[in-house]
Amino acid sequence: MRWYPDRIPDWISSLFPNYTWHKNRSTKTIYLTFDDGPTPIATSYVLELLDKFNFKATFFLIGDRAQRYPELKQQLIDHGHSIGNHTHNHLNAWKTSNNEYLDNVAFAKANTSNKLFRPPYGRVRPGITNALIKEDYEIVLWDVLSGDFDVSRTAESCLKNLMNATRNGSIIVFHDSDKSYEKLQKILPNYFRWLRNRGYKSARL
């Protein structure tokens, strides 16, 4: 049984203003984001598709993977996309001490980003939040979750969710991981066509 919301209502995000949940609701621009990469097969596929549709995106990289695949990280930058920090080892803030977590973020910085941060699982604590803000990080969450990581869901249900939940300014989460690759191949081309046909533009954070 799914325990996560497909879309975060604005009234919830307004209660936590230290995080970026979405962007300007008055313009027909959305923000595609991809977590947990880079991985050779999935990231390369996503890059090719983004180029085909002339969309830009933001990739929240696991530092360890960015260190292992520096050429993929550079391709993301060369293709005009943004990269962000997703910790070095995909840590869960609810199961990690503040010091260990912040050290892991700092260690990932060299291979990711000095500005954008997304906590794995969307989990963070006030002490970590305050420390990261002091380091000038923008902590990016989302208002639309694709569900591509969920083995109990079909690609069709994920696509339907995306089309129902996407709004002006939405920040949408996908995963360029081996686990999500099969679903991405079914979801992304249809979703990208849907976005284009409805006049949405995609920008990087």
Give, as one character, the DSSP assignment of residue 29.
E
Q: What is the largest CA-CA distance in the chain?
A: 47
Tokens of 196: 């284009």
Rounded-to-10 torsion of CA 123, 118, 72, 144: 90
List of residues 6+ apart from 202 with CB closer than 8 A: 29, 30, 31, 32, 53, 55, 56, 57, 195
Selected catalytic residue, list 36, 143, 175, 176 = 175
Nearest to residue 32, comparing CAs of 128, 155, 173, 145? 173
In which residue are the tokens 């990080």 written? 137
**Is residue 6 among the annotated active site residues?**
no
**Is residue 35 among the annotated active site residues?**
yes
Beta strands of the chain (E only): which ranges? 19-20, 29-37, 57-61, 82-85, 116-117, 138-140, 144-145, 171-175, 201-202
Selected catalytic residue, list 22, 35, 88, 148 = 35
Active site positions, annotated: 35, 175
